[in-house]
Structure 1
């Protein structure tokens, strides 16, 4: 996580909770035993309060204040038949959940001393329970608990360790673990060649034009020049920038270059001679700002900003407004069982490459 203060950043909290690979590591590391119900492990409000050494009223207050987030991550209020089934299994373990201030709780039962625990339990109409994700969510929210603070540190350590293990020690090329990357990187050179040939054939300008207009494309898509991008990812002079692009970003860059090459050729044929830099700049601005490109540009900025934040721990300052949490599917794409190194994918497809070579 870029922001180590999990209780201040919902994006960071959700990124951690959506990272199933890290969650599985946390399950093993923490070894928590809860109440097994409907193929999941649950903890009652009282159990969560005891674990974090806070009052049950504190837990209820956080449940009320962060209800949308906690419900999204698995907190439930059991009622009806499901509550009856839960009570049948664990009735003797949830008496302490009856002791809280009922006016502040999810428990709808008259609080009278003349009732014993079994009678009060029978009158229980609802009960709040946390699954493992919601339990971790509460740990990231609690300010009053030293145990929660310690657990947040453990979570961060495990998430970072998981990322680095999957990425082979560095997240620089974590983009290449995506299944679509190999196809994108194989197609990219031909589109790049179309663009550089167009610059060569249709633009009256020195050789520095290749770097200038490549930078203009990067700025149009993700608002950074090559030099700025390399500095953020700590790339060396030997590192090729496009080898660090996610597959869909690489495809968008290729599409942008191919489309611009086509527009340059049309303008050249209409004019009958090479374009001046001023003319190409005008053509470039018109192409970059075409309404048809906006949805793809917005998508690219969101994905680059969010993935680099969640996977590489990098913030692109010019794209900060686009940062959102990654979904579980996104984490699986780069960290799950189907994600592989580029070398592994090449070895799997070596027969295909040999056939292509022999054509």
Structure 2
């Protein structure tokens, strides 16, 4: 079980999953004061719920100020405070006289509960949160996160183009590399290791794929695009080297070529982006850790959760059914 009190990534992953936040709010059944499109909670209300005192809230606000403000804790002043007092002054007591007022929205309210170690109610809420997140994924996906990447609307286009680029690479291996048939798996692994530091068998083990399952069917669209860029780029470089030498390349020569190719500076931002997406999405959506990609692990954004779990996300077969006529027209050209 993940410890929310120590992991900022795990906390933010829950708070950025707006569907899970809504489910948690429904579970708790608390509303607060609806002001400017959000439910708001004063420190007094927060202290009462978590059964803590003001000084504890102030201490955690000091320790986690940036995070809590990022997730919706605000200090109302001036016109905004006046409008808030006009609507809810009867609930504020002595707070109506204050020149400023610290206010939590629901995400900040949950955020505080994630870091509170003194509150038994916060501890129980943390456990409930994790269960609600898991239940939400199971409800949306039927427990199958292996192919959650395919719910992205960009995946279908990427996987449809993948065989074209793949064929260029395998043809280059056939035409320009002096090596037996096992070269296809060896140099597929070489590209995987250059991009995300894992070969095919390691990747399949981490994702618990069956022998006949294709790793690329589980990869995110951005990773597939980067693999395609590497494959056609290396294919072109192999052809150029073949023409320069007037013979097929040896495995050693191709190894040097791939190393130099992958170390070109213009790949750096693309490699870092692909590694970060793979590490972060697999951790947040599949509960999988890529040990070699830990330095690239970040929390998922609200947009990522919407992309794979929101209203626009769909299963691959649904997207194929919607796009079949388009693919037929493309095929007939």
Shorter-chain TM band:
over 0.9
Question: What residue is the counterpart of 1:103 in the other structure?
Answer: none
Tell me the SS of whatever aligns to 2:328. Answer: helix
Q: Please report how far the alpha carbon of residue 83 of structure 1 lies from its aligned counterpart in structure 2 after TM superposition.
A: 1.4
Residues 175, 181 of structure 1: 8 Å contact kept: yes
The structure number with the bigger radius of gyration is 1
Question: What residue is the counterpart of 1:116 in the other structure?
Answer: none
Structure 1 segments unaligned to the other structure (5+ residues): 99-120
Q: Please report how far the alpha carbon of residue 86 of structure 1 lies from its aligned counterpart in structure 2 after TM superposition.
A: 1.8
Q: Please report how far the alpha carbon of residue 130 of structure 1 lies from its aligned counterpart in structure 2 after TM superposition.
A: 0.6
Q: Out of 6, 28, 31, which is 1:30 matched to?
A: 28
Q: Out of 251, 267, 272, which is 1:277 matched to?
A: 251
Residues 167, 173 of structure 1: 8 Å contact kept: no
Question: What residue is the counterpart of 1:199 in the other structure?
Answer: 173
Residues 6, 152 of structure 1: 8 Å contact kept: yes
Question: What residue is the counterpart of 2:9 in the other structure?
Answer: 11
Q: Please report how far the alpha carbon of residue 357 of structure 1 lies from its aligned counterpart in structure 2 after TM superposition.
A: 4.0
1:229-268 residue pairs with structure 2 within 5 A?
229-268=203-242
Q: Please report how far the alpha carbon of residue 12 of structure 1 lies from its aligned counterpart in structure 2 after TM superposition.
A: 0.8
Residues 7, 143 of structure 1: 8 Å contact kept: yes
Q: Please report how far the alpha carbon of residue 271 of structure 1 lies from its aligned counterpart in structure 2 after TM superposition.
A: 0.9
Distance 2:223 2:28 in 1: 37
Q: Please report how far the alpha carbon of residue 128 of structure 1 lies from its aligned counterpart in structure 2 after TM superposition.
A: 0.7
1:161-176 residue pairs with structure 2 within 5 A?
161-176=135-150
| Aligned: 1:187 with 2:185 | no
Question: What residue is the counterpart of 1:330 in the other structure?
Answer: 304
Residues 45, 60 of structure 1: 8 Å contact kept: no
Question: What residue is the counterpart of 1:42 in the other structure?
Answer: 40
Distance 1:281 1:23 in 2: 48
Question: What residue is the counterpart of 2:281 in the other structure?
Answer: 307
Residues 52, 145 of structure 1: 8 Å contact kept: yes
Residues 89, 96 of structure 2: 8 Å contact kept: no
Distance 1:334 1:202 in 2: 40
Q: Please report how far the alpha carbon of residue 354 of structure 1 lies from its aligned counterpart in structure 2 after TM superposition.
A: 2.7
Q: Please report how far the alpha carbon of residue 85 of structure 1 lies from its aligned counterpart in structure 2 after TM superposition.
A: 2.0
Distance 1:258 1:87 in 2: 63
1:51-130 residue pairs with structure 2 within 5 A?
51-95=49-93, 98=94, 121-130=95-104
Distance 1:42 1:72 in 2: 15
Question: What residue is the counterpart of 1:223 in the other structure?
Answer: 197
Structure 2 segments unaligned to the other structure (5+ residues): none
Residues 7, 141 of structure 1: 8 Å contact kept: yes
Distance 2:182 2:37 in 1: 62
Distance 2:277 2:326 in 1: 30
Distance 2:40 2:169 in 1: 57
Distance 2:14 2:261 in 1: 39
Distance 2:312 2:96 in 1: 48
Tell me the SS of whatever aligns to 1:296. Answer: helix
